[in-house]
Amino acid sequence: MSSRDFFLDLMNSLDVAFLVRQGAGSRQPNGWGERFFQKLSLNHPEWNGQRLQIYIKASEILHHFAFSERADEMVPVFFNKPEALLRMVLMLLQNEDLFVSNASTKRAKTGE
């Protein structure tokens, strides 16, 4: 399996697991995407309300790696380790929130 196919398979598994949580499709108990969302629920329950944003960001990252020249290097990072992607997604979302929050605060102070 090529690294591109590997990441596309992860994207598919993530899609299935997300759709199950939306009431569509059937659960894949040992699927990579299912384990991704289980890790979210168990280890980061404060983020459960932002499942859509997490799903979108995770899909973007997987898509990026699927078509990246460095895809081969990244396979071992994500192979059988959905928590690695989850940590990356949460870190990026936290930084985006800080950026938006800081920009809003700056606009409020300067009246822009």
Digit-by-digit pLDDT tens for the chain (112 residues) are: 899 999 999 999 999 999 999 888 777 778 999 999 999 999 999 998 999 999 999 999 999 999 998 888 888 888 889 999 999 999 999 988 765 554 444 545 555 5
Is residue 62 within 8 A of residue 5, CB to CB? The reply is no
pTM for the model: 0.81
Q: CB-side exposure of 63: number of CA atoms within 13 Å?
A: 7
Q: Is 22 helix (H, G, I), strand (E, B) or coil?
A: coil
